[in-house]
Amino acid sequence: METIFIILFVLTLLYIGMADRLSTLVRILGVQGILLFATAFVALDKVDALNLSFILIETILVKGLLIPAMLRRTLQRNGIVRETEHTVTQFQSLLVVTVIIVLSFILANSIHQPHLRIGYFTASISAVFVGLFIVMTRMKIITHMIGYLILENGIFLLSLAVGNEMPLAVNTAILLDLLTSVLLLAFLVDKVGETFQTVNVHDLNELND
Amino acid sequence: MNTLMHPYVFFAGAAIIAGLLIIARTMSAQILLLASYIVLLASLTWHEFTTLNVIEAQYLKADPLTVTLLSVLTILGAVAAFQGVLYAKHRGDSISHLALHNAALVGFLSMLVGVYLSRHIGLVWAFLEASTLTAAVLIYHNRNRNSVEATWKYVFVCSIGIAIAFAGILFLSIAGSATDAHDLSFEALRAGAHLMDPTWLKISFLFLLAGFSVKLGVVPLFNVDIDAKDAAPSHISALLSSVLMNAGFSAVYRIYSVYSGTSIRPWLNSVLLLCGTLSILAAAVYILKVKNLKRLLAYSSLEHAGIVLIAVGSGAWFAALLHLVLHSFAKSAMFLQYGHYFRLTKSKKINAGGDYLSAHPAGAGVFIVGLLALCAVPPMGTFLSEMLALTTLLGTAWWWWALIIIPLLAVILWAMTKRIVSILYRPRHHTSVNGSRATMSMAMETIPQYALLAVVIWLGFFAPPAVVDFLHRASILHP
């Protein structure tokens, strides 16, 4: 059961490698949020109501619905449709994502640690590097933010792979931080668009020596 | 002696004050609220001093390191709050603009208190991330192109960095899963560290150091930190260069103290030495071409953070902590004086200045004494700490690192002196518009800056044995 969700999650990463329209990327992020809930639900050994509701809020509500809705609003406000300037072609980017996934798989299988879930580990490491790859190769700051969110999803999976549960106080703080930082980033994307009349990273170069 | 200042009381009080600050619409109410927050901070510091090593509120505990950093925070927080009000007055900011700034300032300082007090690594992480978010409001304060750019870069890179650090925490919990250290509190980790797999420990240390390097302001993620200090108001830059850097140090140092109980300690030391040396190298390269006075000061922070890491890596823990504390005071004084420089010249550029000695004699004095402190020249206390760090390094197996570090420090000393001296003495073009002179009130405003610099001298050479002893206890790894 959990393997299906992991495979679906890895497929979304491949899709991200190909996607060109930003609204598609946002939709994939929403799908990832829901997949994360499914994987977390399956992964939990003992489900208590508090923990479950916590994960429900974090995945479906925040990652699945709230963040995509916010991103969509930002896209509309700034009139951005697609990533127009590429440093790599779609084919190359798909190739890189595939290589990342394969390497993560090899890495995960070379680790001998009894408490580690290999499947989750593969998916999480892939997501972290795909997120970084998106940040490095795309030009629009909104895409950078999407890359960061993919990376963040990878970290969420990693915490499942490790299976260590943080105390509730810490978890709450982490969730609050994540939510606020995404809100803040979205606000800043708007501000950059307003102030600089551009959404390209390369135009943000006024601060220098 | 038990006071009522439980950390819960502090955080509740800070939240109330921040809330009131947002709605208070008169200057006197703002000042009163800020003053009461400083009193709250001071009494928390006193409370923690009297209840050392007592676990409060499950995950909070003060050790001598906490109290040392809290004391620095209280002093610099008070100075910055005062300067913030002056800053708003000079710029003619609206009261609502100032209110938001003050509320964010209270939030920012309180989150740093949380970082200093936490004994759970996850909580340290959460407080550090929260400090980024509140700092963002402060960096964004001027709402111009530079501040938008810097805030975006800062929040974005901090978020990536903090995500990387979180991966580091998760790798640590992989290492800890073989032991009883499930709850990831520093005590449990310290007790179980020697049973953990060294490879996982190494990986997690690299991730944590890289992630927290934004806060400490060292290689690899120092760039956005420089931009943030460039774009923020000068009193905020002073805080970013001092109390926030101290928070980054506190996080890294506590992690180091956990890991150093294991067999990987020599490896840890070499990583810190490398990271520190690269930071000094980066600082030297950038300082050689920098034209902006504020960035010059920011790069100097990069250098000093590097020195602190080198001190930790070579085992001179006392020197590391002393240097950190002294740098906090010296750099804050310099950033505050930069605020005056900007008011007089209306420019960040070094070549916009000149003849500062006659334009603003009191301010020029701050630049001179501050420069001595940043270049570790006696009678400034930084001389002692830097000397102690380097002599300890010479006594280790890595003594030859000093052959790289000392020339780099000399380059930085030369470049900084050249630039500051040009501001002080170079004759000004008479045709330029930058002819304004400092007023009497500006001269009076340098008093806090001189006071901070006086602390740098006092702490280095005239500190009573009790204070020195306390600093020693604060720098010891396993309290």
CA nearest to B148 within chain A: A192
Q: Does B151 touch chain A (CB under 8 A)?
A: yes
Nearest Cα neighbor of B193 from B254, B262, B257, B255 is B262
Q: Which of residues 281-300 of B touch A (CB under 8 A)?
A: 286, 289-292, 295
Q: Flag if A177 and B146 touch (Cβ within 8 Å).
A: no
First to last CA, chain B: 21
Q: What does pLDDT average to over chain B?
A: 92
**Which residue from A162, A170, A206 is facing B146, i.e. has the nearest CB?**
A206
Pairwise CB contact (< 8 Å): B156 & A169? no
- CB of B173 within 8 Å of any CB in chain A? yes
Instruction: Give per-residue burial for B60-79: e unless 16+ CB within 10 Å, then b.
Output: bbbbbbbbbbbbbbbbbbbb
A209, B231: Cβ pair inside 8 Å?
Answer: no
Say yes or no for a CB contact (<8 Å) between A167 and B145: no
- pLDDT tens digits, B202-253: 999 999 999 999 999 998 899 999 999 999 999 999 999 999 999 999 999 9
Q: What percent of chain B has pLDDT over 70?
A: 97
Q: State how beta strands B55-56 and B60-61 pair.
A: antiparallel
pLDDT digits (tens, 9 = 90+) for A53-70: 888 888 888 889 988 998
Q: How far is A107 from chain B (nearest CA, A)?
A: 14
Query: Is residue A5 exposed (0-12), middle (13-18) or buried (19+ Cβ within 10 Å)?
Result: buried
Residues whose CB falls within 8 Å of the CB of residue A76, separated by 6 or more in sequence, listed in order: none
> Quick count: other Cβ atoms within 10 Å of Cβ A111?
12
Cβ contact A180–B151 (<8 Å): no
Interface contact B150, partner A, CB < 8 A: yes
From first to last of its 479 residues, chain B has per-residue pLDDT tens of: 455 678 999 999 999 999 999 999 999 999 999 999 999 999 999 999 998 888 887 889 999 999 999 999 999 999 999 999 999 999 999 999 999 999 999 999 999 999 999 999 999 999 999 999 999 999 999 999 999 999 999 999 999 998 999 999 988 988 887 776 667 889 888 888 888 889 989 999 999 999 999 999 998 899 999 999 999 999 999 999 999 999 999 999 999 999 998 899 999 999 999 999 999 999 999 999 999 999 999 999 999 999 999 999 999 999 999 999 999 999 999 999 999 999 988 889 998 878 899 889 999 999 999 999 999 998 899 999 999 999 999 999 999 999 999 999 999 999 999 999 999 998 876 544 455 788 888 899 999 999 999 999 999 899 999 999 999 999 987 65
Could you tell me the two tokens for B103?
Answer: 């509320």
In sequence order, what are the residues at sequence separation of 6 or more whose Cβ sits closer than 8 angstroms to the Cβ of residue B423?
A: B293, B341, B350, B353, B354, B356, B367
Measured between beta carbons, which residues in chain A are less than 8 angstroms from residue B150?
207
Interface pTM (ipTM) of the complex?
Answer: 0.92
Instruction: Please list, in sequence order, all residues whose beta carbon lies within 8 angstroms of the beta carbon of residue B85, skipping any fewer than 6 positions away.
Output: B27, B30, B31, B34, B98
- Cβ–Cβ of B170/A164 closer than 8 Å? yes
> What per-residue confidence (pLDDT) applies to B431?
46
Please answer yes or no on whether B176 and A189 come within 8 Å at the CB atom.
Answer: no
